[in-house]
Chain A
Amino acid sequence: MALLNITSPHTHGANRTGRIMRLVVYATIPGIVALTHFFGIGVLINVLLASLSCIAFEALVMKLRARPVMFYLRDCSALVTGVLIGVSLPPYCPWWLVISASFVAIVLAKQLYGGMGFNPFNPAMVAYVLLLISFPVQMTQWATPLPMLADGQTAPSLVAALDKVFFSTPIDAYSSATVLDVMKQNSGLTLDDLYQQQPVFAEGHWAGAGWEWVNIAFLLGGIYLLYKKVFTWHAPISMLIALVVMATLFYDSGSSNSGGSPIYHLLSGATMLGAFFIVTDPVSSAVSTRGRIVYGALIGVLIYVIRAWGTSYPDGVGFAVLLMNFAAPFIDYYTTPRTYGHKKPRRATDASKQDGGH
């Protein structure tokens, strides 16, 4: 009989990359549900449109690269990128915005760098940031959350939403400033006054109407992924802790100079989405446990810095993640773990021969 020379190990665990990616997609469901509840059908249109176009672009590039299309689609990484783009973009934004985002994410940020596993930057965040800079108006028009709608007004119907997305038919009085905008533009009001005067805060409990629940939903998804051991706690938790630490340091007892309370920062904007779905992207983050703690913490600090002192953009998750993507290889150099039999960790740049017993 012909015996193949298969090398050890001969057995293999059940885990597959496709499974990991599918788990990530499942974990976004609470967040998507919350978003849809507060902002209407537009969220689903975004997610669907982005997912489909991402898969389509992925298939196209694989075809062009003469690779087996289905083998690569089965890893579901394009789907994850699509879903993340879908929840990041404002609901009811024009269709071409979504398609462009997918194109940028899959073709430019991912495949041009060599595809899966080779992209130095998080594709969804590259797309988000690129579009934010290119189309600031469309990218910052967020729908009014459900609790703030005027009496009698409801979320747009599917037809109205599609009209808006594909034919730019405006929907009356259906966009408003997000909590982050409100906080950023605050000058002279103490936090207490701000919370009372601004309906977006008044309608919510801790961090603004709708947004707090959306963040809690994403947090639930993140806890599910932690439970499923898709990633370790190090990067997301250190990011959240760093953000809380920064917010506490600059809370300033809620004066008009305050950057917002810690709970406000935890539950507003894209904090939880970023912590559990963006920062945890393994490809573009640091690799070691220590490295991921540093990586996450620095992102947390940067998010606060951009939110509190940045000039034009209210939320900083995208920028912070991309900046730290740059720094990830550098962090890796100095955060290698201590190997068995070695007194201390070794820098990745130290190639001197040690007692390795060749």
Chain B
Amino acid sequence: MTSLIKVWELPGGVHPPEHKHQSLQLPLGTVPLPPVLVIPLNQHMGTPAQPVVQVGERVLAGQLIGAADGTFSANTHASTSGTVIAIEERAIPHPSGMNSESVVIEPDGKNEWIELTACGDYRSLDRLALLDKIRAAGVAGLGGAGFPTAVKLAPKSTQVIDTLILNGAECEPYITADDMLMQVRAAELVAGTLLLSHILHHPKNLLIGIEDNKPNAIAAVKAAVAGAAVNDPEAANIQVVVFPTKYPSGGAKQLIQILTGREIPSGHHSADIGVICVNVGTAVAAWRAVRFGEPLVSRVATVVGESLTTQRNIDVLFGTPISYVLAQHGFNATNASRVVMGGPMMGFTLLDLDAPVIKTTNCILAPSKQELPEPLPAQACIRCGMCAEVCPASLLPQQLFWYAQAEDFDRLESHNLFDCIECGACSYVCPSTIPLVQYYRAAKGSIRLHEIEKEKSDRSRQRFEFRQQRIAKEEAEKEAKRVARQKAAEEAKKKLAEKAAAPAPSSNVISAAAAVSSAVQVAPDEQKAKLERLVAAAKNTLEFQQKPLVPNKTNPVISDEQLVKQQVRIKQAELKLAEAEKKLADFSAQTSSTESAATSAPLTVAAAAVAPAVDMNDPVAAAIARAQAKLTMSPEDKARANLESLRARLAKAEEKVAAAKTEGSANLDALQQGAEKLQQKITEALAELTALGIKDEPIAVPEPVAPVAPVAEPVSAEPVSAEQSAAQAAIEKAKAKAAAMASMSDEEKRAEQIQSLQTRLTKARERLAKAEAENDANIEAFRAGVTKLEEKLNELA
């Protein structure tokens, strides 16, 4: 029973004048019922309660008017019977001076209570049922923070509680509410201690910590413990620990340190080190909630200060306006420097005196101007270190102040700003009267804001990065597909080139070409299949677009605009389909024509494979086709194209030279030089081509400009055979025809085709005759060609 445990030294701390005697001269009093009670729905830490009564409803004392919203919240009850006249935003006692939703009750003076469920033997009840009772009664920490008690009393299963501390330190000057409560309700405090011990599975240490400046309270509690020990052996286990008065020993962290020597690790709760610390008033409230089923509707509060005529402790109903309480105690507003809720060290100035008494109102301090004068202007910090000496958290307040001024958040973090409990000891001793705590509060606020901002920007950055990644991935996939296509095309071309190059030296070019032509038949087939797929896809799209628009969740009404859009889309799909069909038709036509011309121009097929049948009327499509062709070009093709363009340029250059010559231009020399250079380049390009293993075969290089040939010919690696030239000419013609055909109507096309077929037939016949005359080896091929041409002609005609 007596203090057997070691009392640890609190580092730092101050000894401000206590001013406790003036409020202890009178016994615990009450104030009459005020005309209205304003009961805020957030008197506690956590989510505000939700109103469960209506305006105009009659409520009884102890009736639930605000239901806890979630676990981390607390019930709110009517303090007396009366009528709800409003549920609206009212001023509440809060450092920010903010308003909160409140239930305004006009008391009827009868103080009729709801029916309460008493409980004779709490030990027979389940612990959860006990917690439910405490929760239902809306018990929250009465020490100042208003932490929902039921939450505090339900530690995690991993947190083994070995110590229960009842906090009766009350270290703040002026406040004597807990002192008074311990004096008049000592027996209930002891009963409450045993109840909490029961809920917490009977921790080993049951400590009631009281500062040594409250001899009456210590005596009362000790007597109560001795009295209870007669009936309950566990009560003998309760130790009343008296320790030296020092501010801020009443802080939960500090009291735990004083009584157990343990420190709560930064960012953790006391339950993590096996300690639960409960204010003495809270224990009494919890006891009454279980024993009598009585909700928390009033508390003991100190009303003190030299601007009052009466200074004492009162048992006051929640919702009583503070202005009313002050008026009952002879408040002299003209002499008051301010009205503070709480003590002079950590209390906050009330901005609206109509704010009501709430669960955390332990003191209403109304000092006179002489008692607590306005703070002196701050001087420069001389880093004397007195603040560091008194800091109970062993911080370096002078450094924190320095970095708070500089808004150096990193340094504030490294100096553990968030371990500051804002006790105000540093400000109290500061010889330069710097409002240090205010700087820390502001810095904490800006850091929190900063962190929220940072989180926001981090999130959007992540989103952005994710999007970038997604796009990159899509691009990579596209690229991979493209590369695959290119490879396939290159391979096809290589095969083609190999096949084309192999028989080239043979003296019998035409038969070889025919063989190649039959070999490459596969490619056009593929091409055709592709085009057919294209047509099928276009058809699908069209069908899809033609479906009527159906209203859905995201788009409940179909607007005209949407209809118009759909029309446009259908039109587009139709156009696409037409285009695809046309392509297919063109391709078929071309294939058939090339097939027929295969004997003379085998490579046209290859050309067609590379640049699929393009609608010559459509310049865009042509450009796309060209670009695609370029993309899929192999190095050889590129070299060839290069050569071709060089030749074209040379031709132009030579034309210019000629023109310059005739005109006698001054630029003649330069132009000639340019032409020479171009020739040089062509030589180089040819060399490159040879290096690539390809000979500059005019078969593959359609030469658009005549003058180039004579220039190119001398540097050509191989002399061009007569057959090759002929074949080339045939290609040229076929191409020209194809181009011409594209721009012709079907009728014209047909006529043209017939004509061309006739010409070709004639020529083929001539050749056949010649071959027969010369008894050529290819005679059979020529014959076959002639037969085919005849057949075709018949078909068309």
Contact = CB atoms under 8 A, between A and B. Distances in A.
Given A4-B349, A10-B367, A13-B14, A282 B383 contact: yes
A154 interface: no
B396 interface: yes
Contact of A287 (B383, B410, B444): B383
Interface centre among A337, A340, A346, A352 (most CB of B within 10 A): A340
A10 B16 CA distance: 11
Rank and list the top 8 A-B pairs by shortest CB-CB distance, nearest first: A355-B267, A9-B424, A356-B418, A117-B380, A351-B410, A357-B267, A341-B266, A340-B393
Given A10-B340, A342-B266, A351-B410, A16 B438 contact: no
Interface string A229-264: 001100000000000000000000000000000000
Interface in A1-15: 1, 3-13, 15
A9 B437 contact: yes
A219 B395 CA distance: 31
8 contacts: A12-B376, A13-B14, A16-B433, A287-B385, A340-B263, A340-B393, A341-B263, A351-B410
Nearest to A350: B414
A287 B384 CA distance: 8
A26 to B, nearest CB: 16
Interface string B339-376: 11010111111110100000000000101000010111
Given A5-B349, A7-B438, A9-B345, A348 B265 contact: no
Interface of B: 11, 14, 16-17, 95, 97, 173, 253, 257, 263-268, 333-334, 336-340, 342, 344-351, 353, 365, 367, 372, 374-377, 379-386, 388-389, 392-396, 398-399, 410-411, 413-419, 422, 424, 427-433, 435, 437-438, 441, 444, 447-448, 451
A75 B379 contact: yes
Contact of B16 (A11, A285, A342): A11
A117 B395 contact: no
Contacts of A330: none
Given A3-B338, A7-B349, A351 B424 contact: no
A5 B97 contact: yes
Contact of A283 (B11, B383, B395): B383
A5 B97 CA distance: 9
Contacts of A347: 414
Given A4-B338, A336-B415, A348-B415, A341 B264 contact: yes
B396 A337 contact: yes
B265 A355 contact: yes
A223 B247 CA distance: 28
Nearest to B336: A1
A15 B394 CA distance: 21
A65 interface: no
B411 A20 contact: no
A16 B431 contact: yes
Interface residues of A, number: 55
Contacts of A285: 383
A134 interface: no
Contacts of B432: 16-17, 117
Contacts of A340: 11, 253, 257, 263, 266, 392-394, 419
A347 to B, nearest CB: 7
A345 B425 CA distance: 21
B347 to A, nearest CB: 6
Interface centre among B263, B384, B428 (most CB of A within 10 A): B384
Contacts of B414: 336, 346-351
Nearest to A20: B431
Contact of A232 (B381, B389, B399, B418): B389
Contacts of B388: 287-289, 337
A15 B431 contact: yes
Contacts of B342: 8
A338 interface: yes
Contacts of B257: 340
B351 A5 contact: yes
Contact of A6 (B16, B338, B451): B338
A338 B367 CA distance: 37
A347 B381 CA distance: 23
Nearest to A116: B380
A337 B394 contact: yes
B349 A358 contact: no
Given A8-B340, A231-B385, A355-B265, 19 more contacts: A5-B97, A5-B349, A7-B95, A8-B427, A9-B345, A9-B437, A10-B338, A10-B349, A12-B433, A15-B430, A15-B431, A20-B384, A337-B394, A337-B396, A339-B393, A340-B393, A341-B253, A341-B264, A348-B399
B416 A358 contact: no
A156 interface: no
A223 B606 CA distance: 108
Nearest to B418: A356
B340 A115 contact: no
Contact of B351 (A3, A12, A17, A282): A3
B416 A282 contact: no
A205 interface: no
B355 to A, nearest CB: 11
A332 interface: yes
Interface string A31-62: 00000000000000000000000000000000
A117 B383 contact: yes
Contact of B427 (A12, A350, A358): A12
Contacts of B444: 358
